[in-house]
Amino acid sequence: MKNHFFCNFPGISLWTKFFNVLSKTEKTWFSLFFFLFILSASFLNLNYYFKNTAVLAKQGGEYREGLIGQPRFINPLYLSGNDADRDLVEILYSSLVKFDEKGEIIKDLAKDFQIKNNGKDYEFFLKENIFWHDKKPLTTEDIIFTIGLIQAAQYKSPQIVEWSGITAEKQGNDKIIFHLQKTYSSFLETVTHLKILPKHIFQDIPPENFPWILANQEYLIGSGPFQIKEIKKDKSGYTNKITLQRNENFYGKKPFLEKISFNFYKNIEELLKEALSKKIDGVSIVDSRYLKNIEKQKFQLYRLSMPRYFALFFNLKDPRFSQEKGIKQVFNYTIDKKEILEKVFFNEGQIVDSPILCDYFNFSPSKQNFEFNPKKAEEILDEQGFLKNQEGKRVKTQENNTSFLFKNNLKQGSKGEEIKELQKCLSKDKEVYPNGKITGLFGKETKQAVIRFQEKYAKEILLPSGLKKGTGEVKPLTREKLNQVCQENEKQVIPLKFTLTTINKPPLIEIAEILKKQLESIGMEIEIKKISLSELETSVLAKREFEILLFGEALGQIPDMFPYWHSSQAEYPGLNITNFQSKQADEFLIKAREGLEGKERKENLELFQEIFLEDSPAVFLVRSYYFYFVSSNVKGYKMEKITQPSNRFSKIEDLYVKTKREWRNKGH
């Protein structure tokens, strides 16, 4: 059978005959070359395949994010400082516009928008076929409803200030117009914060229940790229995990990921342990001290740039800052920002020299440059009279005239405080007033003392009047000499000492300690006052009770300096905590706020910058990156600039963990 079978295949029969005539050595070499030939052919085929195909994202898979803390209000109306709430809201809910990876505003629910009436009217047109997670249609009615909740005082939404005075008008189910009282160039950014709530879910919920109702899964209905699948809690009510699944009816680009899970941890150590065990794929780190704890080979580090900075703010109501411009310059020249960036942030950030964050917004830097120059700082202090004492601390010694000035004619029988001051003055000279009684009554003893005084200084008092003996009455010439002789110049020693107030949390405490060391190196005394966040809000910010405040501020992607530096914002709840006042600066801030064109806004903010830095009500220090570690198995992440941490999920639909290969040329 075997011979018969091969006979039916003449090629194989010839191959067998050929192989039989070879010697053993020839067979070995032939087999080796034949194997190499097959291997080369396979390699060429694979090489051709890889060169002519591309790796593309494929739907499916799960992304696991690790977070510290607990979700509280997964509710767009009550976004506070809770990052867990903000992260979930960013993915579950949608807004008319949002940020892309470059920090530019792009369309989201809106398919188009127009700015009219010199920036006072914003018209938005909704995309077609937008649905809530429960498959009900999303319309302009839902947007009107959401804004109504924000503007209603009984709902106590923190966003009420942003939407105060704005009227929303719907035109059909797909067009809405916002009417502003004044032109406001940052309004589009305000709209990015407006996450829409479904009216059909919440219209009957009373205000007192509204914050808490979204803790129940059945109420967590949004229109974002993912929707709630499962919430896992332990017996104590602690949320361990929230799983989201892809929204198959999403109006935008359909996400590649099938699921996203948020895993909650009590502290950074627990979070990092899980990351190193590969149990989570994404980790956010604010404190750069923990960067070394993440294994770089397992994670890709994304340094996300944020418009936030740390600075020293001077209380300009303190005369030392309002009257002495040089003192503020001393701080600028003494502080080594590079040391702060290196020791606190491990060089993971940028030095800041201006309130308008020139490097972040691509503005021109100021012409005024306060470079690190402690020698120049000491020269300024020397010029102002603050000299080093034996302990190396700088003090200023000045003479204060504390004496009483005599203004009235006095004689025997006079009474009152002026007589007491006369007796005090005369008693300093035992020859003039040996008794030295301070009674406030101009009696015989006081009269005799005045006579002795007049005769002692006869050239100035008696001779000009043609007298040879004292009269015992205090008249102009006697009064003039009394004021001259009785003048006391007390020496007052003024230390160069300041209290630096800051929140008792890293990295502010670490920055404060470095600043203290740097400023004390030139002889200044610095006392650090550590306070809680509640003290900051109730005392320091509300009452402006501080000398120097070390604090951080956050700007938006569309820079608006008005809330921080305009004169009208100097009183609480305004954010001009230094009490900076400048009519010129105010004008540029208003023009920048109302300018719809980026070029116009840039020009006015740069002009404001020059006026501001001339006065120097604050010393700007550094800004750090927001660190986001993503597993090397996760692809498609592109974010570069974010306003707040939750914005890192703005393009979550682009992430993928599964891949496929497709021919570059469809003809193959």
What residue spans define the domains of the chain? 62-267, 308-394+496-624, 403-487
Tell me the average pLDDT across 219-238. Answer: 94
pTM to 2 decimals?
0.79
Q: How confident is the model at residue 399 (pLDDT cuts 50, 70, 90)?
A: low
Centre a 10 Å sphere on the Cβ of residue 618 and count the other Cβ atoms it contains.
27
Distance of CA 33 to the CA centre of its chain: 68
Task: State the Cα–Cα distance between residues 620 and 634, nearest whole angstrom.
Answer: 37
Q: Which residues contact 592 (CB under 8 A, 6 or more apart)?
A: 185, 559, 560, 561, 562, 600, 601, 604, 605, 608
Residue 83 pLDDT more than 60? yes
Tell me the average pLDDT across 294-307. Answer: 87
Residue 611 pLDDT more than 80? yes
Measured in degrees and rounded to the nearest 5, phi and psi for residue 466 equal 75, 25
Q: Which of 357, 345, 350, 349 is nearest to 555 (CA)?
A: 357
308-394+496-624 CATH, one of 3.40.1280.10, 3.10.105.10, 2.40.30.10, 3.40.50.10440: 3.10.105.10
**Where are the strands (E) in 536-613, listed by range?**
548-554
Residue 508 token pair? 């502010």
Tell me the average pLDDT across 237-244. Answer: 94
Task: State the Cα–Cα distance between residues 38 and 43, nearest whole angstrom.
Answer: 9
pLDDT single digits (tens) 516-544: 999 999 999 999 999 999 999 898 999 99
Asked if 308-394+496-624 and 403-487 have one fold, the answer is no
17, HSE (Cβ side, Cα atoms, 13 Å): 9
Q: Where on the phi/psi map is residue 237: left (φ > 0), alpha (ψ -120 to 50), or beta?
A: left
448, HSE (Cβ side, Cα atoms, 13 Å): 10
Residue 58 pLDDT more than 50? yes
Least confident residue range of 31-35, 310-314, 508-512, 643-647: 31-35
User: Going by DSSP bridges, is the β-strand pair 525-531/497-503 parallel, antiparallel, or unpaired?
Assistant: parallel
Least confident residue range of 34-43, 324-333, 357-366: 34-43
Task: State the Cα–Cα distance between residues 624 and 345, nearest whole angstrom.
Answer: 7
The pLDDT value given to residue 14: 59
187 in Cβ contact with 180 (< 8 Å)? yes
Q: For residue 347, count CB atoms less than 10 angstroms from its CB and return exposed for 0-12, middle for 13-18, buried for 19 or more.
A: exposed
Residue 88 pLDDT more than 80? yes
Residue 164 pLDDT more than 70? yes
pLDDT single digits (tens) 443-501: 999 999 999 999 999 999 999 999 999 999 999 999 999 988 887 666 778 899 999 99
Fold of the 403-487 domain: Muramoyl-pentapeptide Carboxypeptidase; domain 1 (1.10.101)
62-267 CATH, one of 3.40.50.880, 3.50.50.60, 2.30.180.10, 3.40.190.10: 3.40.190.10
Task: State the Cα–Cα distance between residues 464 and 238, nearest whole angstrom.
Answer: 96
Q: Which of 510, 554, 504, 530 is nearest to 340 (CA)?
A: 510
Residues of the chain with pLDDT > 70, as a percent, come to: 91
Please tell me which residue, 379 or 324, carries the higher pLDDT value: 379
**C-alpha distance from residue 518 to each of 333, 494, 546 (Å):** 10, 21, 20
Q: How confident is the model at residue 668 (pLDDT cuts 50, 70, 90)?
A: very low
Average pLDDT, the chain: 90
Tell me the average pLDDT across 108-124. Answer: 96
The pLDDT value given to residue 217: 80
307 in Cβ contact with 642 (< 8 Å)? no
pLDDT single digits (tens) 404-459: 888 999 999 999 999 998 998 899 899 999 989 999 999 999 999 999 999 999 99
